[in-house]
Structure 1
């Protein structure tokens, strides 16, 4: 059984083939709804091996061979027991389309039903096209290869971001809590970082921090705060004190800065701080990066909205419920949700590295926030499921407590990306429906 699918991308063939050769390509092309994680990437398309981890401890070992740069490479399944059950040969062809375009052709010879493969290939082609377009915009905006030190690189956002950066030609050095493994990992002591930790680094991206989700007990509050304020301040000081070190310091932040409920007020970066625990936490978190700014670094605080990906966060929890027809709005559904697709989020982080116009707080949200009932209706429609249920506020209160419910589950924040909009930033998905259809592989005809 065979399946062939192709797309034309706006980039020369040599550039497209080089993109596939760089670390992170397989991460960028793996659909987020698939139950798979990348355990190892192939380092050579002519004779390398990638390992993908599936449920039940099964590993899919893809052996690359037969590369003819920049025209073709092949991967074949080479792992027991899967190869006893599954036939798989995937040929990647690249054809020149004058003047400077490339036809990317995927030819799969397999006994896997074609219906299971079509959405995967469609996602890969959309993602490749969008990543190459974002790369072209970055080059036009002054991007050059950088060495970027990153904390939190193994989280949901960090994994996607590290892959985007490396496929764009940057070197990513992962700052890890344990012993560093290889030249691109360094051990990071959060309380007392080594003086040479950031030596040879052009920019720092600081993502690490304990999950905010949970009941706001004193212990949980301490964990949230201690994992953010002190480490951010120590890292910012080190960045400022490193001779010939980083010139840019980009730190995660959150729209919790604006407080849990501002009504229908449209919130831009210049809007006043709100009230509540998270508003205070986020303000202190951003203040902790001040040593880097005082040292002359350009500091960017990425105030992130509700990140959309079935690989993590809110959508990961809601996806199976809505897919089963059991989803619905929370409470009265009137609360505003400022959301962003994960690929748009990592684009913003990337732009923060090279665009001198980005500094201070940046709202990393899509241009069109929605109310919770609209979010729920859109997700149900994308999944072709009814929306029959409404989740009473009592449900999250049992899990998160009164304060956690107010600050998280029922938070209403009509946040807009005013700074990015003023700079003419291009969003891959400015509307929720297109973002969810891409992320969930539901791009076929939808009901009216």
Structure 2
């Protein structure tokens, strides 16, 4: 029972151990298919405690063992009972995890995980396979940035609590950067600053090297007049105000979220590069105005035109996974529409590149080089989940949920987008093909 496994990463031991010691390490290593959420992160690998939320209101409390702590060689944690919510797990599921780090040579480290638990190895293996891939890819990404002199920056992030923001903040902090989260509530830590989207404080971005602006109301939902207004009002005005604040505070880089909705909802087989004209529709108009607002910043401005983000923790995959797992999934409409997608971690790398690559300006298509038709997406997801994809969704189905306009511009959008500027820069994609991406994200 339990597991004893290891993996060699291309980084010095001190660098690997430091990565584990920084805020965000758990978030970067937690498999997204597991129903676990981080409630509080350990601030010390020697004596700290992490608390995880489990289904049913249960808690997993992991306490670090000071007697084992020996940097940069090892640290350990064990499950504990601390209150009623953690008592069932702490008393009924023994778990002790020892992390060991061995220098293979000056540039390679063997990471060894030894877990003592009654859980069988076959249940734990997918989790550790995922962790090793994440660790290796994150360290490689930070090495590429460091080779370009990008280390120890202070980066302000709006929308830090969303799907992309949560992952990006963890990625940046484990890389040794300081992240200032722009929040709308009273700050709870020195790394939060209160932000009024419509009237930012003049000194909001003082001491900030770069801004990543992700905030905006969710596009998902029925396209009522109120919903459309929320989509536009949460993007255009706040982006312009934040860009002007960045200019006043001397911020050098302003990276703003955008979307492939810029190209309109019905472009068919046309290959859409960053030079393509904007398309038709409500979302195309919003994105055009959104990007124009970002360009008011007196800084190097990069607009990340994001495709369909793949993660079981949010977005369309979160909605489709249970449906397909039950054998009830299939194409939408005739299934011929192009879906331009991007894995969450590849999206983080694109934002990261926008920060460190001084040659990047203007729009960047954040999609993989391999878009798929909707019918192929459905069959691939079903194949990964070992289910059939025999139940197509008629066009009126999405319209019942999103309204006719929402269905046309979201569920049935037909956009064949290519990441031309990234390809020309020889950008490294972690997972450019759909099936390996879904297998990684779903533990399959």
Matches within 5 A, 1:377-392: 377-392=379-394
2:29 corresponds in structure 1 to: 29
The alignment covers a number of residue pairs equal to 437
1:314 corresponds in structure 2 to: 316
Question: Aligned with 2:151: secondary structure?
Answer: coil
Question: Aligned with 2:388: secondary structure?
Answer: coil
2:330 corresponds in structure 1 to: 328
Inter-partner Cα distance in structure 1 for 2:36 and 2:149: 35
TM-score (norm 2): 0.97
1:185 corresponds in structure 2 to: 192
1:434 corresponds in structure 2 to: 436
Q: Are 2:239 and 1:232 equivalent residues in the alignment?
A: yes
Question: For the aligned residues, what is the CA RMSD?
Answer: 0.9
Matches within 5 A, 1:368-407: 368-407=370-409
TM-score (norm 1): 0.96
* Cα drift, residue 402 of structure 1: 1.1
Q: Are 2:147 and 1:140 equivalent residues in the alignment?
A: yes
More moved, 1-10 vs 313-322? 1-10
Question: Aligned with 1:104: secondary structure?
Answer: strand
Matches within 5 A, 1:19-418: 19-65=19-65, 66-79=68-81, 80-242=87-249, 245-292=250-297, 295=298, 297-418=299-420
Inter-partner Cα distance in structure 2 for 1:22 and 1:33: 23
Inter-partner Cα distance in structure 2 for 1:62 and 1:374: 42
Question: Aligned with 2:63: secondary structure?
Answer: strand
Inter-partner Cα distance in structure 2 for 1:432 and 1:251: 26
Superposed CA offset, 1:225-258 (max 9, x none): 111111101100110012xx31000110000000
Inter-partner Cα distance in structure 2 for 1:232 and 1:439: 31
Residue 62 of structure 1 contacts residue 76 of structure 1 at CA under 8 Å; is this kept in 2?
yes
2:427 corresponds in structure 1 to: 425
Residue 155 of structure 2 contacts residue 211 of structure 2 at CA under 8 Å; is this kept in 1?
yes
Question: Aligned with 1:333: secondary structure?
Answer: coil
Question: Aligned with 1:413: secondary structure?
Answer: strand
* Cα drift, residue 401 of structure 1: 1.3
Inter-partner Cα distance in structure 2 for 1:349 and 1:400: 29
* Cα drift, residue 115 of structure 1: 2.4
2:84 corresponds in structure 1 to: none
Residue 260 of structure 1 contacts residue 412 of structure 1 at CA under 8 Å; is this kept in 2?
yes
Inter-partner Cα distance in structure 2 for 1:156 and 1:143: 24
* Cα drift, residue 99 of structure 1: 4.4
* Cα drift, residue 69 of structure 1: 0.5
Distance 1:370 1:111, change over 3 A: same
1:446 corresponds in structure 2 to: none
Question: Aligned with 1:286: secondary structure?
Answer: helix
* Cα drift, residue 290 of structure 1: 2.3
Structure 2's unaligned 5+ residue stretches are: 82-86
Inter-partner Cα distance in structure 1 for 2:120 and 2:159: 37
Residue 142 of structure 1 contacts residue 355 of structure 1 at CA under 8 Å; is this kept in 2?
no
Q: Are 2:8 and 1:8 equivalent residues in the alignment?
A: yes
Residue 47 of structure 1 contacts residue 64 of structure 1 at CA under 8 Å; is this kept in 2?
yes
Inter-partner Cα distance in structure 2 for 1:438 and 1:262: 30
Inter-partner Cα distance in structure 2 for 1:401 and 1:214: 9
Inter-partner Cα distance in structure 2 for 1:148 and 1:98: 33
Structure 1's unaligned 5+ residue stretches are: 443-448
Residue 339 of structure 2 contacts residue 372 of structure 2 at CA under 8 Å; is this kept in 1?
yes
Inter-partner Cα distance in structure 2 for 1:291 and 1:174: 22
Residue 80 of structure 2 contacts residue 91 of structure 2 at CA under 8 Å; is this kept in 1?
no
Residue 2 of structure 2 contacts residue 119 of structure 2 at CA under 8 Å; is this kept in 1?
no
Superposed CA offset, 1:10-41 (max 9, x none): 11111100110111010000000110111111
